[in-house]
Each structure stands twice: as C-alpha cells, then as structure tokens.
Structure 1
Amino acid sequence: MRKIIAGLFILLSATLMSSCSKEDNYEGPNAAFKGRLLDNDSKENFLTETGGVQVKLEELSWSATPTPQFIPSKSDGTFEDTKLFSGHYRVTPANGAFWPVEGIEIDINGTTTQDFTLTPYLRITQFEHELQGTTLIMRCKLSAPKEAGLPRLLDIKPFVNISDYVGSGATISQYTDPNKVDINASWSGEIAAKTYEIRVPNLKSGRTFYARLGARVDDSYKQFNYSQIITITVP
C-alpha cells in the first residue's frame, strides 16, 4: 500500500513539474499608442500638466461595453503607452479643462500615432511677469473660446516649483493657495476686460524657480487651463 501511495505521489509531482515547465503561449502587450494634444487655435501642444488630460481607451475587439483604460498626458501635451494589446479601440480625450470631444475608433497595431484637437475652456492671454526683490508679479487676461454654456469660473492660481514640472500636482504650496485670486462668477464682459495681477512674495534668494498661472472652471474635473512656464532666478 505504501509503495502504491509513494508511486502516486511521484507521478503527481512529475505531472505538476511538467505543467509548470510548459511555456506560456499567451502573447504579451505588442502595441504602442502615442500622439499630441493640440490647442484648436494655436495648433501647438495643449498647455497642461502631467495627468491634466486622460486619454480614454476602450477596446472594442471583444466587447461593445469594455472597461476603459487611461493614458495620462505628459506635461508637454503629449501622451504615450507602449504596453497595449493590438486591437480595435475607441479613443476619447477626457477629464481635462476642455470642451467634450467625440471619441474616434482606430486600429492600434505596432506603433500607432494619433493627434487630438481640443478647445480649452479658458485661455490665459497677455501673460506678463516681473520680479520685484523677492516678489514675483504675474499679470494676465482671460479669454473664453466658447462662452455659451461655459461653467462658472472659480479662480486663478500661481504655481511655483524648483523644477520645470510645475502645475497643480507639482507646486510649492506656500506660494500657491495663499496667493490665488478668487473669481466665483459666470463669464462676462467685465471678466474679459479685466487684467488680473497675482503676487507671490518671499521667494528664496539665490534660487531658480519655474512658475505659471492656471485658471479653472467649476466642471466635474476642476482641471486648470495654463499659461506658459517662466523661469525666475531670485538674486
């Protein structure tokens, strides 16, 4: 009896070892998807931050109602994912400071490139800055590419960092919220005509900072429309 049990144990062990040693025949991710997010007016890269826009992918190869996956934008307004499965996808830029756009259907195989054009809720215009001692002064106006249906404006904030990755997710907090300008109003001619001034005091001497302004509306995501990034060296 013991010999029979021992024999069965050896046979089972050999079977398990054989099954574990077999190679996995499933293919891994074999496709990449990348592109640019473009401002519909300037045709330049959309002014955003890391994760400021999410590119939503829905693979339609196997289901009409798939679970979406997301590619976060890079700080330069591009996006890229190099670990996707080849297939037929619906792709929609989402979750950012722009008017909703229709998704497109596209086959992703190998390396596929697709750009998307976005209309921002707001544009920061006539952006100027100066340094007075250790105080950074930034001025701007706001414009709205589409006024009808624009959500209520919330505020304008300064974002300051010691690297050029600067935005709501990368800022020195003591320079941001205490110096914001609240608006809390619907779009109007008065807002369009106003020049906003934001002061950031007490920058540390001998340091180089990167700064920009961001304005946002009261939509579901409350992401910011940004100015260009400036470099400030405090004497």
Structure 2
Amino acid sequence: MKANIQYAILIAWGILSVSCKKDNYKAPSGAFSGRLVYQGQPVNVSYNDVYFELWEPGWGKSTPIVVNVSQDGSFSALLFDASYKLVIPAAQGPFRSLTDKTTNSDTILLQLSGNLTRDIEVLPYYMIRQTKFTATGRKVTATFAAEQIIKDAAAKDIERVSLYICKTQFVDGRNSVATKDMSGAAITDPAGISLQVDVPALVPEQKTVFARVGLKIAGVEDMIYSPVQEVAL
C-alpha cells in the first residue's frame, strides 16, 4: 500500500512538473503589423470581416493563425519569432491577391525576428476617390468618385453604393442609424456620385456623427469603403 501511495505521488509530481513547464512558456513578443494597400493607399473594409492567414511550416499544424483587418485596412498580430506563410483566402476582401515575386504565387513568405512592419499590396476591383461629406441641418451629403481598377476579363460591375451614418467611428451597414443606397444601374457618372440622407434624432443627442460610403461589387461579399469622417450636424 505504501509503495502504491509513493507511486501515485510520483505520477502526480510528474504531471505537475509538465504543467508548470507549459505555463512557463513565454508569450509571443514579436509584432507583425501593416496595412492592406493599393499603390500605397489603404484599402478600407468593414471591421472584423476581412482577414488573412499565417501558416507556420514544419510543425504539422493544420490550423492557421487568423489575422483580422481593421476598417482602415490596418492589422497587427503578436507572434513568435519564426518563418510564416501568409495567404489571403480567395473569398476574402473586395480585391484580388497579387503574385509574389519570390514564390511566384499568392503566398507571401515572412521571417519574423522581433517586430516587423510590412504592407500587403492587393488589387481592388474599385477604389473610392475624392470623398467629401457636408451637412445642412440634419441632412448629410456625400460626393465621391468610383474608380474602376480591374478592367480586364476579371472586371466586375458595381452592384450598389451606400452612404452610412453611425453614432461611433465603427461605420458600416451593421450599426448604421441612417443609410442611403443607390444601385449600380442608377449611376450615370462614376466620377461624380452624390448621396444624401436625413439623420434621425439620436438618444442621447449628438452634435456629430460618423460617415463613410461603401461600394458593393457584384459577386463579391466584402465591400470597399472610403475612410471614416466625423461630420458636425
């Protein structure tokens, strides 16, 4: 009986030691940050809707590290120092991935040692340009241009454009308090689009709101947006 007790104690001590070693692993300390860009300009998206994947070769892992992109196109992730393969899934974003010169594919190789800042160049179907917001009373007007970037066989039509008004700086259709849509077929001049919406009374009252315009591409889930702007009422 005494021998059995001693044996049980040894097993428990071994389990405890292994657990302590696992708990003593250092947290990742390297930061990988940057932006999704087109020719150096941020590609604005809706928050937490667009992401890319980081795969760490050599560990037999089948699950990638998912990195979400903020609405201004920026991203940041804490990682261990290692080599990674960066992949943007085919269905992600209002853009197409570009071929990397090193891999000759849409996979980007990263070597993280400490902090790394690197923008990811993509090819959007459209970019929203020359956005201007004005307010008269509680009417907010947005004027902007929709520039078509992809014009070859992969080109896609505009399904609609939308003006979103929100209480906070997180602006898209999910939390909009006022929205104005225009179908792509109704756009007569992509270089001069105008949308106007009435802002309802807000509780509690706000003297400013946050606005931006979005463009929905036919056959593409994720929209592309203008930067968020605060508008005084």
TM-score range relative to shorter protein:
0.7 to 0.9
- Does the CA contact (< 8 Å) of 1:155 and 1:217 recur in 2? yes
Q: How does 1:1-235 map to 2 (within 5 A)?
A: 4=1, 7-22=2-17, 23-24=20-21, 27-41=25-39, 43-63=40-60, 66-82=62-78, 84-94=79-89, 95-101=92-98, 102-148=106-152, 149-169=154-174, 171-172=175-176, 174-176=177-179, 179-183=180-184, 192=190, 195-204=192-201, 206-207=205-206, 208-220=208-220, 222-234=221-233
1:223 deviation in Å? 1.3
Query: Counterpart of 1:175 in structure 2: which amino acid?
Result: A
Name the CA distance, whole Å, in 1 between partners of 2:169 and 2:13. 54
TM-score by length of 2: 0.79
Give the AA of the match of 1:162.
K
Q: Residue by residue, what CA displacement relative to the aligned partner does 1:41-71 show, whole Å, maximum 9, x if unpaired?
A: 3x133323422431221112234x8432210
Tell whether the 8 Å contact from 1:90 to 1:106 is kept in structure 2 after alignment: yes
* CA distance in 2 between partners of 1:33 and 1:168 (Å): 31
Q: What CA deviation, in whole Å up to 9, does each residue of 1:3-57 have, x standing for no partner?
A: x3xx25522441243123313258454353423225333x133323422431221
Q: Give the counterpart letter for 1:198 in structure 2.
A: L
Structure 1 residue 126: Cα displacement: 3.1
Deviation of 1:155 (Å) = 1.0
Structure 1 length-normalised TM: 0.78
**Residue 9 of structure 2: SS of its match in structure 1?**
helix
User: Aligned in 2, Cα 1:191/1:16: closer, same or farther, shift over 3 Å?
Assistant: farther
CA distance in 2, matches of 1:126, 1:112: 32
Q: Deviations over 1:192-226 (max 9, x none)?
A: 35x32222113337521000000021344x21211
Please tell me the residue identity of whatever aligns with 2:168: S
CA distance, structure 2, for counterparts of residue 164 and residue 158 of structure 1: 14
Distance 1:113 1:55, change over 3 A: same
In structure 2, the gaps of 5 or more residues are: 99-105
Larger radius of gyration: 1
SS of the aligned residue for 2:96 comes to coil
Query: More deviation in 15-24 or 223-232?
Result: 15-24
Indicate the SS of the match to 1:17: helix
Query: Matched residue pairs, number?
Result: 217
Percent of aligned pairs sharing the same letter:
17
Q: How far apart are residue 96 of structure 1 and its match?
A: 1.0
* Cα drift, residue 134 of structure 1: 1.3
